[in-house]
Structure 1
Amino acid sequence: MHFVKAKAILSSRNGMNLYRGCTHGCIYCDSRSKCYQMDHEFTDICVKENAISLLEEALKKKRRKCMIATGSMSDPYMSLEKELEYTRKALMVIEKYGFGVTLITKSNLVLRDIDILKRINSKAKAVVQMTLTTADDNLCKIIEPNVCPTSLRVEALKKLNLEGISTVVWLSPILPFINDTKSNILRVIEMCHEANVKGIICFGMGLTLREGNREYYYKKLDKHFPALKEQYIKRYKDSYNVPSPNEKALLELFHERCDAYGMMHNNDDIFKYLEEYEEKESQLTLF
C-alpha cells in the first residue's frame, strides 16, 4: 500500500472511498477497468491519509444532514482495514456529527464496528449492504478468493439484523455458465430471507466486461474454468454487457421469490431508501 493526500473526500452525492484499489481478488471486478485511470497496481492500495480530517471538515460545513455512503469502488473492509481502521474512524466522525451511513462490503469485518453502527442507527440510519454471488462456499473461494465466504457473510447479516441494523444485498454479478443456475439464485434469496434482509438489488443476470477487467477475468477463466473463455468470446465477443443465456427465466424467478418473501426488489425503491436520511425521535428530543 501507499499513502497520498486527497484534495476532497465526498462526492457531489455524498459518497466516499477511503481507499483506492482492492485486495479481495474477485475475478470479475469492474474496478480494474482502465476507464477509471488508476495509476498504480490494483492491489497496491492507495490510502487517502488525510481522509478522516477531510471528512470532518466536510460534515462540519453541511447545512443539512444526509446519508454518507462508502464502498462503491473499494471495499471499506479490506484486510488492511484491520490495521489502519480508517473506516472505523470515519464512522466515528459520521456519528459525531449526526449523519446517517450506508456501506457496501463483502467482509464480515464489518461486525467489528457494530458498536458504532448501532450508535449511528440510534440517532439516524445505518444500513449495511452486502454482496452475495453464490451460495456455494467452494465456488466463492474461487471467484472471490481473498475475502470471507458466503456463509460467513450471511452470518454477519443475521447478526446485524439482531442488532437492529437494516441490510441490503447485491445479487451481483451472475457469471454465465458459472453461477447462473436456478438452484443458486433460489438458495441465495432463501439465505437473504433467513437473514431478514430488507431488499435485494439486482441489475440483471450477468456481468459487465470492459478493457482492463475483461483481460483479468479471462485469465482467471483459463485457470479455473478451462475452455470457458472460448465460449465467452464466441458468444459475447467484445460486448460490455454479458448476460446469462438464462437471464429472462432467472429474473422472473428472482422477482417472484422476492415477492413471496416480502423483500424489496425494485432497484429504484431500494436506492431511494438508501438515500433517505432519517432522524430518530431520540435525537430530536435532545433539542
Structure 2
Amino acid sequence: MHFVEAKGILSSKNGMNIYRGCSHGCIYCDSRSLCYNMSHAFEDIEVKQNAPQLLEKALRSKRKRCMIGTGSMSDPYMPAEAELKLTRRCLELIEQYQFGAAVLTKSDLILRDAELIASINQQQKAVVQMTMTTFDDELCRIIEPNVCPTGRRAEVLMEMKRLGVPTVVWLSPFLPYINDSEENLRGLLGYCAEAGVKGIVCFGIGLTLRDGNREYFYSALDRHFEGLSQRYRIEFGNAYEIVSPNHSRLMAVFNEFCNKYGIIHDINACFGYLNELPEKYEQLTLF
C-alpha cells in the first residue's frame, strides 16, 4: 500500500475511486487490464489520501446536487478502508452537503457505514450495489478469495432492506463451465427476491477478458480448475467477450424472474435509476 496526493477525485460523470488496485483477489477482475495503465502492482493499493478534501472542494463548487458514485474500478470497502476510513469520510461529506450516493462493493465492511448511508437516503437518495457471482460459498471463496462470500453479501442486502435503503445487485461475471449454471443463477436470484432489490445489472452470461486480466485469469484456472484454461484457449481464443454456451437459456430465466418480481433489469434503466437524483420540494406553510 502506498499513498499519493491526487489532483482530482470526481470524474465527468461524478464517479470517484478513492483507492486504485485491489486486494480482494477476484480471479476475473477487469481492472487488472493493461489498458488502464496502472504504474504499480495491482495488490499494492494506491491510496488517494486527500480524497475527502478534493471531494469537499468539488461538492462545494457544484451548482446542482447529484448522485456521487464509487466502486466502479476499485472496491471502496477493501480491507485497508477499515483503518483508513476514507470512504466513510467521503460519505460524511456527501451527507453534509446533501448529495446522493451510489456505492458498489463486494464487502460486508459497508455495514460499518449502514446508518450513515441510511441517513443520506433519508435526506436525498442512497443506493447500495452489491456484486454477486456465485451462490455456492465454497466456490465463491475460490473465485473471490479475499472478500466475504455471497451468503454474507445477502445478509448485507437484508440489512439495507431493513434500513429502507434501496439496493441493486450486479450479477457479473458468469464464468463458462464454472458458475454459468441454472442452479447458480436461480440461487442468486433467490437472494435478490428475498432482499427486494430495486434492480439487477446483468450484461449477459459470460465475462470479458483483455490483456493483463486474461493472463491472471488463466493462471488461476490452472491452479484451481485443471485443464479449463486450455479449453478456454481452444474455444474462445483471444476474444474480448467470452459468451457462455448457456447464455440464451439463462437470460430467458433471468428476464422471466425480473418481470415476475417487478425488478428493473434493462441496463439503461438500471443506470438511469442509479444516476437520477429526484428534486425534493419543501412544503411551504402560509401564515
Distance in 2 of aligned mates of 1:50 and 1:201: 31
State the partner residue of 1:231: 231
Q: Is 1:194 equivalent to 2:194 in the alignment?
A: yes
Deviations 1:115-156 (A, max 9, x none): 211111111000000000011000000000000000000000
State the partner residue of 2:274: 274
Measured after TM superposition, the shift of residue 280 of structure 1 is 4.3
Q: Could you tell me which runs of 5 or more consecutive residues in structure 1 were left unpaired when the two chains were aligned.
A: none
Give the secondary-structure state (helix, strand or coil) at the position aligned to 1:273: helix
State the partner residue of 2:118: 118
CA contact 1:19–1:45 (8 Å) conserved in 2: yes
Distance in 2 of aligned mates of 1:268 and 1:190: 23
Q: Is 1:42 equivalent to 2:20 in the alignment?
A: no
Deviations 1:147-186 (A, max 9, x none): 0000000000000011000000000000000000011111
Deviations 1:59-108 (A, max 9, x none): 00000000000000000000010000000000000011010000100011
Q: Is 1:160 equivalent to 2:167 in the alignment?
A: no
Measured after TM superposition, the shift of residue 279 of structure 1 is 4.2
CA contact 1:123–1:279 (8 Å) conserved in 2: no
Deviations 1:211-239 (A, max 9, x none): 00000000000000000001000000000
CA contact 1:134–1:188 (8 Å) conserved in 2: yes
Give the secondary-structure state (helix, strand or coil) at the position aligned to 1:56: helix
Q: Could you tell me which runs of 5 or more consecutive residues in structure 2 were left unpaired when the two chains were aligned.
A: none
How many matched pairs? 285
Give the partner amino acid of 1:93: L
Deviations 1:223-269 (A, max 9, x none): 00000001000000000000101111111111011111221111111
Compute the TM-score of the two structures, normalised by the length of structure 1: 0.97
1:286–1:78 CA distance, 2 compared to 1 (3 A): farther
Give the partner amino acid of 2:264: M
Give the partner amino acid of 1:186: R
Give the secondary-structure state (helix, strand or coil) at the position aligned to 1:190: helix
Give the secondary-structure state (helix, strand or coil) at the position aligned to 1:23: coil
Give the partner amino acid of 2:148: C
CA contact 1:123–1:280 (8 Å) conserved in 2: no
Give the secondary-structure state (helix, strand or coil) at the position aligned to 1:10: coil
Measured after TM superposition, the shift of residue 278 of structure 1 is 2.7
Give the partner amino acid of 1:78: M
